[in-house]
């Protein structure tokens, strides 16, 4: 308590000392073309050391400016220099909204890039922001994908080409908080993880914390990804369309009409796959019904997503933002057939109606109210609803109608099977950012998060005289996390900076308060070299119930941490050295160690288990798990110029401990990973990009030999059948061959078709056609004549082969 | 727009080798039902590069006439039919030279001996009349069919081993080159299946598509309840006879649970309409099992390493009721009700 009081005195006395005969300048820096805020722009007063960088909203505040005349400058690479004379009068804050004009040729005065601003301002280790140009710079699988680009960063691993899920420094994807405009998204993947649900056309920036994230983020213990959508053009209506192999997508944006002095912008983007509609239109016959009509091949799958964002500036201090994201994958298949027969005494009509409906995806809605209470005090209140739904329903109806001369008998059986996992997340959050003094920025707030988890398996069965409903599994959790947090970014001196924070979370199922202290320190050895240190505790209150060994994960099944299990916890310790060269090439070397405890690993399903046995359901049975990970990461990143990209190297070791397997490597562990992403501007209208990944192989469990096991058949003549089973060794002690993949892409800009400008892009994935092994499949070698079961053989199941794709993008 | 996915050229199978220290693999069963054999199957684990099952013999089952719709292997209209045969395979890793002993809690020692087959002769009597190219033939003959059933088990060949309920038995197996395997179990009590009722009345005939209740007496341990329609010919099953109705999933009960001494059965619903009443034998069976048998066949094994693409089950090797090797040593006892099922 004494320490807290002492700390408060320092902040307030500092504030007092610098508040005499001074005033402030605050405002926003925006792109003049479309009104999008520009983050990390440098705003400074000539011939002083007073200045600030814009935050993610483009907002800046320069406090404690002595009265007098100044020249204010705003710079950002790619934009012309902004200059304006300004007079500062005591206690008369100046509000300045700056528009920067895009400029291809850089002036010599522009020396500060966004990368340098990030380098100078950022306190957190392991944090990186990717703008849309960087997201698009890596060759992608059919379409640019923010998750695929993030997988190329150091510290991020994956299990296979088929998954865009992020395994970050030993943390599984469920430990990552994925947000779209601040709203949590639970399963942000299409097509079982091959694509992420975020349409890059709508993205402005992706902010990624691989670890050591500050107290304002909580509830997860792995990484943070906040994807920010564009705000929409404030000047005029514009749009773009993109046609790729699997989908078409479009974006349209524009200003809101002025209404009683209020102004704003809007943005709508959407995407849909079209294999299903194309194949249905082709009407490919695959058989005939009993009535002679054709049965056509159906492609019963598609996905779609759309995003809406509306910004309304009520006045210069109040902004309301509405953000919506809807994305679903849908399998919809049905089959009907009717058969009729006429007998001597009865006519029979037999109808079959079979259908599968399986939607899964996310719906989010959020409203944010930003209130600039004072130039140095900004409040953001945030109300959101996020729903993830996985809902598989199979219905089979057989209906037989027997028509006799004097009566009709109807016999039917109607079976419905439903498996579902539905999560409803309602969050209210307020965040206050206070420039308490020239060297203190205090951020505090609270968050109330209600999450309803509903995981179930239902079967219903009905006949003409019987109706039965069974619920084989029903796991319903209503969790509430009430969290409060505070953090202070304290510039102790020009060279030494701290960020001290804590987060307290009350979890209703445990009726317990969890306390997470967070600490960051940054020491600028010189203008170009900084040393960083981060430490923190991170609690998590949810988990997923998926098979730990599966390589293809279609969906994630989420659960709140049960009442009888403690909250999962991780400790992050990160140390890093950063260097920004005079050519604005960013270098970062980081060492990290993470400890995990109270993780939950789903018990694998029992074999031979019968209904009524002690352990016939494993959907809610877990092994208590602990673990640790450590590693070294190196990043060299060049963000500007005709040749840009990054090189990342990761050395990582992750181990988990469960009772049956002891300490073992999880299946995503890759020891060495080298990633190279490069983008060359060959000419004004031609760009070449390439991505290379070389890594150690993922672990797997070795097969040692075979043993007979038996199945029973207890009938009148009881029999027991032997079958071959493979004896496995220690878990995940073998590794697949190393992974290697090179992708290349070429973009040609400035095409013209009937006056419409367009870009075309071509991409080749795995250009060397390297065989990367997803896993082995096994088989007994069988003698074709005798049928003798000979030795065991295996064959690799490959990841992506060589794939060539191309697409067209229009702008209007 | 186009896509070219150049798939990998013909991924090759790779033969695997292993260097594994083998252990004995035991299938030990004591069946206390009268007339049901108790036996010990003895094998060893196998390497990845050796055979696990060899063809033992081919058993001729029956002639399948192409006029019968069920004989779907007929290739053309000219084909009269074909013989249906069954290839019998036996484990390649049989251990035939072991010393296998069972000792009961009275100290009586029973030495089990290895036998590879039992022989019995089927006697089939034909008395039929048929016409062949205009000639009526009366055929009255007896066919003797010699059958060798390869069992490859260790059994009591002296006739002295008569297993008793609620009795402790110890197993000892010594085989040259392998660790000694020992085991123990306590046989279950004889279960008692009381009756079968419909709408509260005890019945001896089950009506297809109508629910019924199975009643039993509380005794000890766990048990499994099964039901089957008995066709009389062992090779027939529901797919051949087009019989439907009466099937229900086997289920597990706790014979010591005072709260449950009966269960309602909603057997498989039969959609077909039947023009004639048809009746078959219907067997309800209650099989009590000792702890070892229950753990091996009912509880099962926690999956060790599994996913959809692996193609085969895996295990770390289970030792249920035995030590020194893999496998299990268990015991069962059963009671049954033989009824009729009508549709």
Q: What is the CATH number of domain A238-698+736-811?
A: 2.40.170.20
Q: How far is A509 from chain B (nearest CA, A)?
A: 29
Q: Which of A635, A641, A632, A738 is nearest to A677 (CA)?
A: A635
B-contacting residues in A 400-419 (Cβ below 8 Å): 400, 402, 409, 411, 413
Which of A244, A413, A613 is opposite residue B299, by nearest beta carbon?
A: A613
Pull the structure tokens for residue A198: 């975020």
Going by pLDDT thresholds of 50, 70 and 90, the confidence category of residue B234 is low
Contacts of A259 (CB under 8 A, 6+ apart): none
Class of domain A2-112: mainly beta
Which of B87, B283, B327 is opposite residue A787, by nearest beta carbon?
A: B87
Q: For strands A699-700 and A568-580, give the pairing.
A: unpaired
User: In terms of CA atoms, which chain B residue is nearest residue A348?
Assistant: B273
Whether A803 contacts B3, CB under 8 Å:
yes
Q: What DSSP designation does A200 have?
A: G
Pull the structure tokens for residue A434: 């206070």
User: In terms of CA atoms, which chain B residue is nearest residue A730?
Assistant: B316
A803·B266 Cβ contact <8 A: no
Q: How many CB atoms are closer than 10 A to CB B80? A: 10
A203 Cα distance to chain centroid: 13
Q: Show residues of chain B in contact with A733, CB under 8 Å.
A: none
Domains A2-112 and A122-229 share a fold: no
A426 Cα distance to chain centroid: 19
Q: How many CA atoms lie within 13 A of B327 on its CB side?
A: 28
Q: Which of A600, A546, A590 is nearest to A569 (CA)?
A: A600
Q: Show residues of chain A in contact with B5, CB under 8 Å.
A: 801-803
Q: Show residues of chain B in contact with A806, CB under 8 Å.
A: 1-2
Out of A188-202, B118-132, B175-189, B277-291, pick the least confident: B118-132
Q: Show residues of chain A in contact with B228, CB under 8 Å.
A: 715-716
A-contacting residues in B 227-286 (Cβ below 8 Å): 228, 230, 234, 249-253, 266, 269, 271, 273, 283, 285
Residue B258, CA distances (Å) to A369, B262, B294 in order: 63, 10, 20
Pull the structure tokens for residue B340: 């009729």
Q: How far is B48 from chain A (nearest CA, A)?
A: 5
Is A245 at the interface with chain B, CB within 8 A?
Answer: yes
Write down the CATH superfamily of domain A122-229: TonB-dependent receptor, plug domain (2.170.130.10)
Is A724 at the interface with chain B, CB within 8 A?
Answer: yes
Q: Which of A245, A240, A251, A136 is nearest to A191 (CA)?
A: A245
User: In terms of CA atoms, which chain B residue is nearest residue A808?
Assistant: B1
Contacts of A249 (CB under 8 A, 6+ apart): A199, A201, A241, A242, A269, A270, A271, A272
Q: Show residues of chain B in contact with A610, CB under 8 Å.
A: 224, 250-252, 297-298, 300
Which of B49, B300, B307 is opposite residue A550, by nearest beta carbon?
A: B307
Q: How far is A332 from chain B (nearest CA, A)?
A: 23
pLDDT of residue A269: 94
B299·A609 Cβ contact <8 A: yes
Residue of B232, B249, B305, B319 to mutate, interface with A, max A Cβ within 10 Å: B305
pLDDT of residue A15: 44
Q: How far is B139 from chain A (nearest CA, A)?
A: 33
pLDDT of residue B193: 94
pLDDT of residue B178: 94
User: What radius of gyration do chain A's Cα atoms show?
Assistant: 30
A611·B252 Cβ contact <8 A: yes
Q: Show residues of chain B in contact with A400, CB under 8 Å.
A: 271, 273
Contacts of A682 (CB under 8 A, 6+ apart): A688
User: In terms of CA atoms, which chain B residue is nearest residue A793?
Assistant: B15
A-contacting residues in B 54-93 (Cβ below 8 Å): 54-55, 87, 89, 91-93
For the whole model, what pTM was predicted?
0.83
Q: Show residues of chain B in contact with A724, CB under 8 Å.
A: 52-53, 312
Q: Give the separation between CA A588 and CA A576, rounded to whole angstroms.
A: 7
Whether A447 contacts A429, CB under 8 Å:
yes
Whether A232 contacts A251, CB under 8 Å:
no
Which of B6, B228, B328 is opposite residue A769, by nearest beta carbon?
A: B6
Which of A712, A716, A726 is opposite residue B312, by nearest beta carbon?
A: A726
Q: Give the separation between CA A160 and CA A165, rounded to whole angstroms.
A: 9
Which of A613, A715, A788 is opposite residue B298, by nearest beta carbon?
A: A613
B-contacting residues in A 104-133 (Cβ below 8 Å): none
Q: What is the pLDDT of residues B97-141, one digit of tens each?
A: 999 999 999 999 999 999 987 776 667 666 677 676 777 777 777
Q: Show residues of chain A in contact with B150, CB under 8 Å.
A: none
Pull the structure tokens for residue B123: 């006697």
Reduced 3-state DSSP string for chain B: CCCEEECCCCCCCEECCCCCCCCEEEEEEEECCCCCCCEEEEEECECCCCCCEEEEEEEEEEEEECCCCCCCCCCCCCCCEEEEEEEEEEECCECCCCEEEEEECCCCEEEEEEEEEEEEEEEEEEEEEEEECCEEEEEEEEEEEEEEEEEEEEECCCCCCCCCCCCEEEEEEECCCCCCEEEEEECCCCCEEEEEEECCEECCEEECCCCEEEEEECCCCEEEEEEEEECCCCCCCHHHHCCCCCCCCCEEEECCCCCCCEEEECCCCCCCCCCCCCEEEEEEEEEEECHHHHHHHHHCEECCCCCCCCCCCEECCCEECEECCEEEEEEEEEEEEEEEEEC
Is A284 at the interface with chain B, CB within 8 A?
Answer: no
Q: What DSSP designation does A192 have?
A: G
pLDDT of residue B309: 66
Q: Show residues of chain A in contact with B224, CB under 8 Å.
A: 610, 714
Which of B91, B252, B302 is opposite residue A613, by nearest beta carbon?
A: B252
Spans of all domains in chain A: 2-112, 122-229, 238-698+736-811
Going by pLDDT thresholds of 50, 70 and 90, the confidence category of residue B9 is low
Q: Show residues of chain B in contact with A798, CB under 8 Å.
A: 8, 11
Residue of A245, A460, A709, A807 to mutate, interface with B, max B Cβ within 10 Å: A709
Q: In what order do the strands lie in the sheet with B262-265?
A: B201-202, B192-198, B212-217, B262-265
Residue of A401, A601, A622, A706 to mutate, interface with B, max B Cβ within 10 Å: A706
Q: Is A106 helix (H, G, I), strand (E, B) or coil?
A: coil
Reduced 3-state DSSP string for A56-92: CCCEEEEEEEECEEEEEEEECCCECCEEEEEEEECCE
User: In terms of CA atoms, which chain A residue is nearest residue B325?
Assistant: A707
Q: Give the separation between CA B251 and CA B285, rounded to whole angstroms.
A: 11
B310·A551 Cβ contact <8 A: no
Q: Give the separation between CA B150 and CA A133, rounded to whole angstroms.
A: 73
User: In terms of CA atoms, which chain B residue is nearest residue A796?
Assistant: B11
A792·B336 Cβ contact <8 A: no
Which of B14, B302, B305 is opposite residue A728, by nearest beta carbon?
A: B305
Blockwise average pLDDT, block size 10, chain A, 812 residues: 45 44 88 86 86 86 88 86 89 88 57 68 82 75 82 90 90 94 89 82 90 93 92 89 84 88 91 85 78 79 93 92 94 83 75 91 95 93 94 91 83 90 95 89 96 90 83 86 96 92 96 96 93 96 84 80 93 95 90 96 64 52 92 92 91 94 93 94 90 94 90 82 87 93 90 83 90 89 84 90 86 76
* Helix (H) / strand (E) containing A121: helix A114-121
Residue A165, CA distances (Å) to A140, A159, A182, B109 in order: 15, 8, 19, 62
pLDDT of residue A344: 67
A-contacting residues in B 143-202 (Cβ below 8 Å): none
């Amino acid at each position: 308590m004494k320490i807290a009081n002492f700390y408060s005195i320092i902040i307030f006395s500092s504030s007092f000392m610098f508040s005499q005969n001074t005033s402030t300048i605050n405002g926003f820096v925006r792109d003049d073309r479309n009104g999008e805020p520009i983050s990390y722009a440098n705003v400074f007063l000539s011939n002083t050391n007073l200045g600030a960088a814009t935050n993610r909203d483009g907002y800046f505040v320069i406090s404690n400016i002595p009265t007098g005349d100044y020249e204010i400058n705003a710079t950002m690479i790619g934009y012309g220099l902004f200059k304006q004379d300004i007079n500062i009068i005591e206690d008369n804050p100046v509000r300045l909204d700056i528009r920067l004009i895009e400029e291809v040729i850089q002036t010599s005065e522009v020396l500060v890039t966004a990368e340098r601003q990030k380098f100078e301002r950022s306190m957190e280790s392991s944090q990186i922001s990717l703008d849309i140009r960087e997201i698009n710079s890596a060759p992608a699988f059919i379409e640019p994908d923010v998750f695929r680009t993030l997988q190329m960063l150091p510290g991020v691993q994956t299990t296979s080409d088929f998954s865009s899920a992020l395994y970050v420094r030993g943390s599984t994807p469920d430990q990552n908080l994925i947000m779209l405009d601040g709203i949590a998204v639970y399963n942000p993947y299409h097509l079982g993880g091959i694509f992420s649900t975020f349409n890059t056309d709508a993205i402005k920036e992706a902010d990624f914390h691989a670890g050591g994230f500050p107290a304002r983020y909580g509830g997860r213990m792995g990484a943070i990804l906040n994807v920010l959508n564009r705000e929409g053009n404030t000047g005029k209506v514009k749009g773009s369309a993109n046609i790729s192999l699997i989908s078409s997508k479009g974006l349209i944006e524009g200003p809101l009409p002025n209404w009683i002095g209020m102004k704003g912008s809007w943005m709508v983007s959407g995407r849909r796959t079209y294999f299903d509609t194309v194949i249905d239109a082709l009407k490919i016959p695959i058989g005939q019904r009993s009535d002679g009509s054709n049965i056509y091949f159906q492609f019963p799958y598609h996905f779609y997503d759309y995003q809406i964002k509306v910004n309304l500036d009520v006045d210069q201090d109040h902004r309301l933002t509405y953000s919506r994201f809807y994305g679903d994958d849908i399998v919809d298949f049905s089959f009907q057939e009717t058969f009729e027969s006429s007998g001597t005494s009865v006519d029979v009509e037999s109808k079959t109606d079979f259908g599968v409906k399986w939607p899964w995806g996310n719906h989010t809605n959020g409203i944010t109210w930003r209130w600039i209470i004072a130039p140095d005090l900004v409040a953001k209140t945030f109300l959101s609803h996020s729903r993830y739904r996985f809902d598989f329903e199979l219905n089979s109806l057989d209906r037989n109608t027997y028509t006799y001369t004097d009566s009709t008998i109807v016999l039917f059986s109607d079976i419905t099977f439903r498996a579902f996992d539905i999560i409803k997340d309602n969050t209210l959050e307020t965040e206050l950012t206070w420039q308490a003094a020239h060297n203190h920025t205090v951020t505090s707030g609270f968050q109330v998060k209600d999450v309803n988890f509903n995981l179930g398996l239902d079967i219903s069965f009905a006949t003409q005289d019987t109706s039965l409903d069974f619920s084989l599994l029903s796991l319903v959790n209503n969790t509430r996390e009430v969290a409060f947090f505070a953090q202070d970014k304290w510039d102790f001196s020009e060279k030494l900076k701290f960020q001290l924070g804590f987060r307290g979370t009350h979890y209703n199922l445990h009726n317990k308060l969890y306390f997470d202290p967070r600490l960051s320190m940054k020491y600028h050895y010189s203008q170009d070299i900084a040393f960083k240190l981060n430490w923190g505790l991170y609690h998590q209150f949810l988990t997923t119930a998926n098979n730990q060994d599966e390589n293809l994960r279609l969906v994630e099944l989420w659960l709140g941490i049960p009442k009888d299990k403690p909250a999962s916890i991780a400790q992050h310790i990160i140390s890093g050295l950063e260097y920004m060269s005079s050519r604005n090439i960013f270098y970062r070397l980081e060492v990290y160690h993470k400890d995990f405890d109270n993780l939950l690993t789903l018990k694998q399903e029992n074999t031979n288990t019968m209904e009524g046995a002690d352990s016939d359901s494993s959907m809610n049975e877990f092994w208590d798990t602990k673990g640790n990970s450590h590693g070294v990461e190196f990043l060299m990143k060049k963000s500007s110029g005709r040749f840009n990209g990054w090189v990342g190297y990761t050395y990582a070791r992750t181990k988990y401990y469960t009772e049956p397997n002891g300490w073992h490597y999880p299946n995503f562990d890759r020891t060495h990973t080298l990633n190279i992403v490069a983008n060359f501007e060959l000419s004004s209208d031609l760009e070449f990009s390439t991505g290379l990944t070389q890594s150690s192989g993922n672990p797997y469990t070795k097969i040692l030999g075979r043993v007979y096991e038996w199945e029973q058949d207890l009938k009148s003549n009881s029999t027991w059948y032997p079958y071959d089973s493979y004896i496995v060794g220690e878990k995940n002690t073998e590794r697949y061959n190393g992974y290697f993949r090179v992708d290349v892409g070429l973009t040609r800009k400035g095409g013209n078709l009937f006056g419409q400008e367009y870009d075309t892009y071509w991409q080749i994935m795995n250009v060397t056609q390297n065989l990367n092994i997803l896993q082995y499949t096994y088989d007994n070698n069988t003698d074709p004549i005798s049928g003798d079961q000979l030795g065991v053989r295996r064959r690799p199941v490959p990841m992506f082969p060589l794939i060539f794709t191309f697409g067209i993008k229009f702008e209007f | 727009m186009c896509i070219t996915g150049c798939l990998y050229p013909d991924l090759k199978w790779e033969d695997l080798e292993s260097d594994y220290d083998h252990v004995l693999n035991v299938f030990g069963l004591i069946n206390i039902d009268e007339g049901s054999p108790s036996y010990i199957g003895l094998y060893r684990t196998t390497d990845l590069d050796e055979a696990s099952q060899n063809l033992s013999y081919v058993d001729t089952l029956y002639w399948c006439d192409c006029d019968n719709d069920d004989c779907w292997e007929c290739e053309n209209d000219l084909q009269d039919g074909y013989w249906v045969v069954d290839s019998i395979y036996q484990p390649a890793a049989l251990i035939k030279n072991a010393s296998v002993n069972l000792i009961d809690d009275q100290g009586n020692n029973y030495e089990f001996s290895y036998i590879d087959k039992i022989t019995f002769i089927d006697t089939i009597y034909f008395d039929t009349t048929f016409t062949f190219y205009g000639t009526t033939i009366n055929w009255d003959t007896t066919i003797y069919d010699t059958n060798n059933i390869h069992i490859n088990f260790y059994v009591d060949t002296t006739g002295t081993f008569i297993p008793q309920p609620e009795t402790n038995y110890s197993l000892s197996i010594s085989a040259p080159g392998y660790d000694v395997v020992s085991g123990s179990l306590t046989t279950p009590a004889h279960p008692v299946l009381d009756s079968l009722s419909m709408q509260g009345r005890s019945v001896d005939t089950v009506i297809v598509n109508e629910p019924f209740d199975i009643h039993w007496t509380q005794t000890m341990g766990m048990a499994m309840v099964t039901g089957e329609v008995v066709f009389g010919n062992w090779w027939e099953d529901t797919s051949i006879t087009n019989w439907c109705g009466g099937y229900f999933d086997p289920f597990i009960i706790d014979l010591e649970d005072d709260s449950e001494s009966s269960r309602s059965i909603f057997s498989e619903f039969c959609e077909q309409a039947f023009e004639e009443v048809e009746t078959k034998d219907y067997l309800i069976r209650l099989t009590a099992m000792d702890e070892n048998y229950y753990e091996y066949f009912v509880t099962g094994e926690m999956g060790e390493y599994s996913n959809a693409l692996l193609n085969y089950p895996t295990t770390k090797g289970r030792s249920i009721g035995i030590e020194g090797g893999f496998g299990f040593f268990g015991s069962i006892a059963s009671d049954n009700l033989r009824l009729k099922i009508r549709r």
